[in-house]
């Protein structure tokens, strides 16, 4: 398969998996491994997230504009923005400190990705079946402490295969948030988190990128944007109706399938 087609396939995978609790990074690393695709410092997998960032920004533009225009006068808007920033900070600190180890060690272990996919799927199944009584159903009403604790859960997702959205949603559920608002808070938290990861990775690896790399990244970006818009527009209603079990089983199937494939290709 030519590199340009692989870039499009990986972009579609990024957009389809970024905002659901299945680990977009895990899927990209496994797909890249089996397709024989490698980018310098695994930069491609991070930089095409810009497409997913623009996807969620475009869908939520009205909400974001409303927050921006009411920020000076509305205490609720200020509290919500502060909550997202507090949730964002832990992953920034840990991500910067552990960046090189994550990219050069953890990202290079497809076996680790498969195992974390399976473990995360089992945990998500357990959470989906627990009779948790939600205290918070409106994402704009999350207490600052709750938002910060969700941000601590997000740090776990620095391990590939864990899933950023999966970790934040699981944390929110344990902190008495309902499923729909937990997923929505994960959407809002994704914007600064992914933008920060994009900017930092570009800064660290821009000297390693060639013109060909930039072309492939552009293709992946467009594919991620298109598929990301579709997912963001549909996933909240899907979660409300079906919960997280379908995503949990998908993680387990992909993780087990990946381990089998890895053993067969050794």
Q: What pLDDT, in 10s, does the model give residues 185-213? A: 999 999 999 888 888 888 887 877 777 77
Spatial separation of the C-alpha atoms in residues 29 and 38, rounded to whole Å = 9
What is the model's pTM? Answer: 0.87
**What does the domain layout of the chain look like in residue ranges?**
3-264
3-state class (DSSP) for residue 146: helix
Return the percentage of the chain with pLDDT > 70, whole number.
99
Q: What pLDDT, in 10s, does the model give residues 145-179? A: 999 999 999 999 999 999 999 999 999 999 999 98
CB 216 within 8 A of CB 51: no
Q: Which residue in this structure is represented by tokens 């995360």?
A: 120
Spatial separation of the C-alpha atoms in residues 178 and 86, rounded to whole Å = 20
Spatial separation of the C-alpha atoms in residues 55 and 63, rounded to whole Å = 14
Residue 161 tokens, joined = 């295969």
Spatial separation of the C-alpha atoms in residues 36 and 2, rounded to whole Å = 10
Q: Report the mean per-residue pLDDT for the chain.
A: 90
Q: What is the pLDDT of residue 128?
A: 85
CB 44 within 8 A of CB 3: no
Q: Which of 175, 98, 109, 117 is nearest to 141 (CA)?
A: 175
Spatial separation of the C-alpha atoms in residues 238 and 244, rounded to whole Å = 9
Kindly state the average pLDDT of the residues 54-68: 90
Q: What is the pLDDT of residue 209?
A: 76
Q: What is the pLDDT of residue 65?
A: 92
Q: Which of 209, 168, 220, 213 is nearest to 190 (CA)?
A: 168
Q: What is the pLDDT of residue 100?
A: 87
Position 41 confidence tier, pLDDT thresholds 50, 70, 90:
low
């Amino acid at each position: 398969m030519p590199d340009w087609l692989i870039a499009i396939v990986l972009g579609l995978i990024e957009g389809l998996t970024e905002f659901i609790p299945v680990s977009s990074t895990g899927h990209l690393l496994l797909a890249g491994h089996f397709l024989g695709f490698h980018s310098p410092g695994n930069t491609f997998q991070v930089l095409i997230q810009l497409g997913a960032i623009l996807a969620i920004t475009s869908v939520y533009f009205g909400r974001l504009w409303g927050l921006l225009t009411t920020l000076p006068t509305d205490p609720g808007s200020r509290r919500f923005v502060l909550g997202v920033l507090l949730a964002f900070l832990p992953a920034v600190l840990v991500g910067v400190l552990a960046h090189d180890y994550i990219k050069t060690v953890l990202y290079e272990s497809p076996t680790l990705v498969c195992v974390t996919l399976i473990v995360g799927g089992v945990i998500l199944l357990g959470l989906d079946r627990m009779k948790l009584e939600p205290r918070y159903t409106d994402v704009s009403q999350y207490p600052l402490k709750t938002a910060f604790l969700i941000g601590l859960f997000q740090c776990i997702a620095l391990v590939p295969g864990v899933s950023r959205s999966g970790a934040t949603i699981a944390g929110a559920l344990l902190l008495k948030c309902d499923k729909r608002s937990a997923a929505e808070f994960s959407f809002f938290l994704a914007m600064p988190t992914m933008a920060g990861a994009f900017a930092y990775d570009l800064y660290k690896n821009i000297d390693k990128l060639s013109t060909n790399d930039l072309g492939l990244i552009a293709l992946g970006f467009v594919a991620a944007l298109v598929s990301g818009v579709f997912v963001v527009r549909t996933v909240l209603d899907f979660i409300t109706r079906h919960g997280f079990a379908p995503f949990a089983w998908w993680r387990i199937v992909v993780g087990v399938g990946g381990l089998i494939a890895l053993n067969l290709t050794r």
